[in-house]
Amino acid sequence: MKPIDLGSKAIAITGASAGIGLATARACARAGMAVAIGARRLDRLEEIAREIRSGGGRAVAIECDVSDEASCRAFVSTSAEAFGSLHAVFANAGYGVEVPTLEMSDEAWERMLRTNFWGTLWIVRAAVAQMRTQTRPAQGLAGHVLVCSSCLSKIGAPYHAAYSASKACQDHLSRALRHELVSDGIYVSSVHPVGTRTEFFDELERRSPASLGLSSGNTSLQSPDRVAGAIVRCLRRPSGEVWTSTMTRLALGLGTAFPGLADRGVARYMRSHLRRAVGGQTDGHRSSHES
Q: What is the pLDDT of residue 42?
A: 96
The answer to whether 21 touches 38, Cβ cutoff 8 Å, is: no
Which candidate, 146, 142, 79, 91, places its Cα nearest to that of 116?
A: 91
Q: Quote the pLDDT of residue 210.
A: 53
**What percentage of the chain carries pLDDT values higher than 70?**
84
Q: Which CATH architecture has domain 10-248?
A: 3-Layer(aba) Sandwich (3.40)
Query: Pseudo-torsion of CA 210, 252, 189, 8, nearest 10°?
Result: 90
Per-residue pLDDT tens digits for 82-118? 999 999 999 999 998 888 899 999 999 999 999 999 9
Pick from 200, 197, 193, 196: nearest CA to 248: 193
pLDDT in tens, 158-179: 889 999 999 999 999 999 999 9
If you average pLDDT over every residue of the chain, what do you get?
A: 87
Q: Determine the pLDDT at residue 50.
A: 98
The more confident residue out of 221 and 47 is 47
Confidence of residue 196 (pLDDT cuts 50, 70, 90): low
* Of 244, 248, 283, the residue nearest 155 (C-alpha): 248
Where exactly are the structural domains of the chain? 10-248
pLDDT per position as a tens digit, 221-239: 788 999 999 999 999 999 9
Which of 129, 141, 39 has its CA nearest to residue 87? Answer: 141
Q: What amino acid is encoded at 171 in this protein?
A: D
The Cα–Cα gap between 64 and 119 comes to 10
Helices (H), 67-140: 69-83, 106-113, 119-132
More confident call, 193 vs 267: 193
> For the residues 206-223, what does the mean pLDDT come to?
58
pLDDT for the residue 285: 31
263 vs 76, higher pLDDT:
76
Q: From 122, 117, 112, select the one nearest 148 (Cα to Cα).
A: 117
